Amino acid sequence: MISQEQYPQELIRFLEASPTAFHAVVSAGTMLAAAGFQRLHEEDDWGELGPGAYYVSRNDSTIIAFRLAKGAAVCQALRMAGAHTDSPALRVKPHAVHSKSGYVQLGVEIYGGALLAPWFDRDCSLAGRVVWRSTTGQVRTGLLDFRRALVTIPSLAIHLDPEVNKQRSINRQTDMVPILALGDVPDFSSLLLQELQRQHGINMEQAELLDFDLFLYDTQAPALVGLKEEFICSARLDNLLSCHALVQALCGAEAGKDSLIVLNDHEEVGSTSMVGAQGSFLKDVLARLFQPGQVQRIVARSLFVSVDNAHALHPNFSSKYEPEHAPAMHGGPVIKINANQRYATSGVTAALLTLLCREARIPCQKFVMRNDMACGSTIGPLTAAALGLATVDVGVPQLAMHSVRETAAWLDGYSLLRLLQTFFGAADAQLSASAVD
C-alpha cells in the first residue's frame, strides 16, 4: 500500500495516464492486474466463481472489480463503493474539421456541465477511442492519445470587446470552436490513421477508419502547488482522484473481505446509458455472481459508498456556501447531504461512515447546499434506487469543480484513501444499515 509520501506522485501518474474515461479504465485495469486481479469478459461463461479477485469492463469506459473471500456461494455482505470515470470536456463532432477565414477549425460538442471560460487559451490535445476495419474485414478498436498540443481556442482581444471584464457571455456554438491549423483542410481520417500507425503499428493503407470517440484535454501536466506544495492542481480531479483512491484501496484490501468497486462512465451527462449508473452493468454483475435470493440478502447487509468530490469553501466567494456546512481543505473527507435526495446519504449511513472515519483516525466534515441554490448529484442516488442499497455520498473538498483545471489538497485525497482502506477491511456488522436498531 502506498505511503503518504508516495501518494501525490502516484495520483499524478494516474491523472497523466488518464486523459479520457477510456484511458482511466485502462489505468485502473493495469493497477488491478498488477495486484493479482483476474480479468473476466461479459461474453464468457463465468461459472461459479471461487475465492479470488476479478474485474470486468463494459464499453471500455466502465469497470467493476471485486474480491470474493471464500467464493460467491457463501458471500454474506459486500463492501461496495463507486465513482465515475468521466469529466466535463469538449468532444469532437463526427464531421470534425472545416475551414473558416483561412483557419482549419475542429467541431466540438460540450460534454457535461463544463465551466467554459477556462478552456480559452489552453494548449489542448486529443485522446479517446477509434474504430477501424482491417483489410480482412475485422472491426477493431484502440485508444489514441496525441500527447502534444494540437488545438487552442483563442480569446477575443480586449480591444475588440472592451466590456468583457464587466460582463461576459459565452456562446456554446460559435465561441467554443478550436483552431487546428492554417491553410487547407486535412483529411481527419488520415490524420487518425497515421496516429494509429505510430502508436499501434497499424498499416494505414490496409485500414479503414469507421468512427471515433475523441475528446480535447489540456496538456498542462498536474502539479503540486503552494508554499508547502499542499495543493494538487490538475484536470479531471473530479472524479479521477476518487477512482484512484478506490482502486488503490481495493488492491490493498484484505483478501478475507468481500468487496466491490464500480467506476461508471457518463455521470456528467445524467448516467442514462449502458455504462452509466442508471444502466444495468452493476445489477448484471451481481446477478451473475449470486443467486437471486442471495442478491437481496447481500444488498440488505451491505453499504455503498458513493465517492465524488465536494465543494471546498472558496475564500473569495464565501457567500455562495451554507454558513454552517462549508468544507475546509485539510478538513478530511466530506459527507454530502441533501433533503431532496440529490445525495443518497441518510442519518444512518452518515453515522456508519463517521464511525469508519474515527476508526481510520481521520477527520470528516459535512456539506449541505444553500437553500437558494441548485444541488448537483452523483451516482449514489441512482445506485441506491436501482438496487435498494443503503448509500452514503462522500468526497474530497476541491475548488474550481468542472473547470479545465481543478484544485484540491492532496492530503485530503490521502485521508480518503485511508478511509476506503478501513471500509474495505470493515467487519460485516459495520456495513449494515438494516442492523442498526
What is the CB neighbour count within 10 angstroms for residue 117? 12
Alpha carbons 340 and 370: distance in angstroms, whole number: 12
Cα distances from 252 to residues 12, 22, 57, 92, 119, in angstroms, run 19, 24, 20, 38, 37
pLDDT of 8 > 80? The answer is yes
pLDDT at 437: 61
pLDDT of 435 > 80? The answer is no
Confidence class for position 207, pLDDT limits 50, 70, 90: confident
Query: Which amino acid is present at 244?
Result: H
Q: What's the distance, CA 209 to chain centroid?
A: 28
pLDDT at 436: 66
Contacts of 361 (CB under 8 A, 6+ apart): 418
Confidence class for position 135, pLDDT limits 50, 70, 90: confident
pLDDT of 430 > 90? The answer is no
Confidence class for position 168, pLDDT limits 50, 70, 90: confident
pLDDT of 434 > 70? The answer is no
Q: What is the pLDDT of residues 279-319, one digit of tens each?
A: 999 999 999 999 989 999 999 999 999 999 999 999 999 99
For helices 379-387 and 281-289, what crossing angle results, to 10°? 40
pLDDT at 322: 95
Q: What is the pLDDT of residues 351-366, one digit of tens each?
A: 999 999 999 999 999 9
Residues of the chain with pLDDT > 70, as a percent, come to: 99
Q: CB-side exposure of 112: number of CA atoms within 13 Å?
A: 25
pLDDT of 14 > 70? The answer is yes
Of residues 437 and 172, the one with the higher pLDDT is 172
Mean pLDDT of the chain: 95
Q: What is the pLDDT of residues 366-413, one digit of tens each?
A: 999 999 999 999 999 999 999 999 999 999 999 999 999 999 999 999
SS3 for 246? Answer: helix
pLDDT of 428 > 90? The answer is no
